[in-house]
Amino acid sequence: MADRDPGNAFRVERYLWTPELDGPGPKRARVPARIEAYVPAPIRRLELSVSSAALRSMSDAEQSVTALQHHTASLGVESLSAQLLRSEAIASSQMEGVAVPSNRTLAKVTAGGRHHENANAALEAIAAVTDAHEWAAGTEPFTVAIVERLHAAVARGDRALAAHAGALRTKQNWIGPDPHTPVGADFMPPPPDDVPALMDDLCAFLNRPDVPPLVQAAAAHAQFETIHPFADGNGRVGRILLGMVLSRSGLATDVVPPISLVLSRDREAYVSGLTAWRFDGPAGADRWVRVICDALEEVATASRGLADEIDALQRDWRAASRHRRSDATAEKLIAVLPQLGVVGLGEGVARTGRSQEQVRQALNQMEEDGILRQVTVGKRNRQWESVGLFALLDEFERTLSGGTVGAGETR
């Protein structure tokens, strides 16, 4: 890879870190320390040339992502997009140690189930990912304010982020084993005074139309994680940015593959790839691009397989249904079940445009046909689960993440 702004390499800024004397943590955390903060080179004029290996990875990834868009459209399972966004939010949150309930639990809460704090937090994260990708599909330019708004959306589902929601950091942060002192940290991002200019530079790079989408996505994500512009929540925001670049470029027009599933499988490779980008010059940058492209190619291919499985499941549901007419209420419900997972009377009415009585009869009949399973007790506020769907989703997540995601009970 070529230079990042010729003649302008990263620098290391050495200064005395001064703790808050009345801050939290043990006594050692209130001792000043000499630190070395990494300040990345600007990338707004970044010119990239990639190796033949990276070019092959880029080509494979682009073909797989494009094939996924066409395949889901041809099958008529565009609602797969909602499930994949859910998987992305779940995997990205779990990479940061945030507890996330199973797909089944999230679907029940969405359908009006009993309040579940962790589930509601996860749904806020899913909404943040969904809104971000919808915004990126437009033409409004990236700005620091947009990134701050994205962080605020992520913070809605995380109490730990609430105090810093949508605000660039004003203090030194670090990545390491001790949250109270930077001594022994694994990585020291740039000092807070450098953050605003670096974020302006990053947004200028994000707005360039002349950078190949996958290179732009990989470089932007690495630069964002290096700046670490917020007090916390940087990993989740940075991975959302990666998907936003794919949406903005037009490469992922309908379905954004949940790349965090693959990245969560091998955190060490993910972190070492970022480290290579920062310190290993052209070879390290080339390696990082391949890490992202290979992960994206794998998850896009697997997502296409999931689309086939969901399509086959819908055909099984239709075969089991006693409602054969294409305009039947049951048929309308079957069409949206992959997106919902769990459905109640109110949601059924909203999705089909049919009367409450028509939807009630269809839900009861679909339960008799083995398409739905009632998951609530009693006759009021009943919910039904799509038989077989969650087993497919959980297996998809477990396989790609190596078991770190998708641990929800299946049946």
Domain segments of the chain: what residues?
11-304, 323-401
> Residue 384 corresponds to which amino acid?
W
Minimum mean pLDDT range among 36-40, 144-148, 300-304, 378-382 = 378-382
DSSP codes, 304-331: HHHHHHHHHHHHHHHHH-S--STTSHHH
Instruction: Give per-residue pLDDT as tens, 189-200.
Output: 999 999 999 999
Q: How many CA atoms lie within 13 A of 273 on its CB side?
A: 21
Query: What's the fold here for domain 323-401?
Result: Arc Repressor Mutant, subunit A (1.10.10)
> 308: which 2 tokens?
């086939």
Which fold is adopted by the domain 11-304? Fic-like fold (1.10.3290)
Higher pLDDT, 214 or 30: 214
Q: What is the mean pLDDT of residues 338-360?
A: 92
Q: Determine which of 7-11, 314-318, 342-346, 366-370 has the lowest per-residue pLDDT on average.
A: 7-11
What average pLDDT score do residues 312-320 get? 93
Separation CA 58–CA 62 (nearest Å): 6
Query: pTM of this prediction?
Result: 0.91
Question: Which runs of E-coded beta strand occur in 250-332?
Answer: none
Name the packing angle between helices 234-249 and 117-136 (round to 10°). Answer: 30
Residue pair 404/394 in contact (Cβ under 8 Å)? The answer is no
pLDDT of residue 377 exceeding 80, the answer is no
**Within 10 Å of residue 78's Cβ, how many Cβ atoms?**
15
Q: What are phi and psi of 373, to 5 degrees?
A: -130, 125
On the question of pLDDT at 101 being above 90, the answer is no
Query: For 12, which DSSP code?
Result: E
Residue 189: Cβ within 10 Å count: 24
What's the chain's average pLDDT? 89
- Residues 150-179 have pLDDT tens digits of 999 999 878 888 888 999 999 999 999 999
Strand 372-374's sheet: what is its strand order? 342-344, 383-386, 372-374
Give the single-character DSSP code of 36.
Answer: E
Rounded to whole angstroms, the Cα distance separating 65 from 128 reads 22
d(CA 266, CA 275): 14
CA distance 28 to 300: 47
